[in-house]
């Protein structure tokens, strides 16, 4: 700073002290981003129970790989009943469900698919099914389509 004196004669004024400044706080390190949580169900797993199959469909939007359509099973010689002799570990699923009784909500563009539940090791396919839509609705019936319980989605 200039004190206003003639500097050719020398000046013995003390320079003004610089105003004290607070040191800049050190930036806190960014926390490590949370790792993406693993899905609650393995995409490569094989599932046959109501809760597992419903969660799989809800998570991945399709049936697990251990399901095959009736047409695929028939190509192996299956004519009904247990699929075990023709395709061990596999279940029937992936066929269109027509909703002819109108028990499930209709909407333009909505279609339904069905799959068997709890059939491994059984002689007959039984009455348990999951029926799911192409827009996120997942239903369960244990009385062969007489009534439905919504498991995922909003009607």
Catalytic positions are: 114, 144
Structure tokens at 11: 């000046």
Angle (CA) 77 83 84, round 5°: 110
Counted residue by residue, the chain has a size of 155
Locus of tokens 């009904």: 80
Strand, coil or helix: 68: strand
Neighbouring residues of 109: CB distance < 8 A, sequence distance ≥ 6: 134, 135
């Amino acid at each position: 700073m200039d004190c206003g004196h003639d500097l050719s004669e020398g000046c013995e004024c003390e320079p003004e002290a610089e105003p004290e400044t607070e040191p800049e706080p050190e930036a806190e390190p960014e926390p490590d981003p949370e790792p993406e949580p693993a899905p609650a169900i393995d995409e490569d797993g094989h599932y046959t129970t109501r809760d597992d199959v419903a969660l799989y469909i809800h998570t991945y939007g399709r049936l697990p790989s251990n399901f095959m359509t009736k047409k695929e099973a028939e190509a192996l010689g299956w004519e009904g009943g247990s699929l075990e002799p023709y395709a061990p570990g596999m279940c029937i699923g992936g066929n269109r469900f027509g909703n002819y009784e109108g028990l499930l909500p209709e909407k333009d563009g909505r279609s339904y698919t069905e799959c068997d539940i709890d059939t491994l090791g059984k002689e007959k396919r039984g009455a348990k099914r999951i029926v799911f839509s192409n827009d996120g609705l997942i239903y369960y019936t244990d009385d062969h389509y007489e009534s439905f319980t919504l498991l995922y989605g909003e009607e």
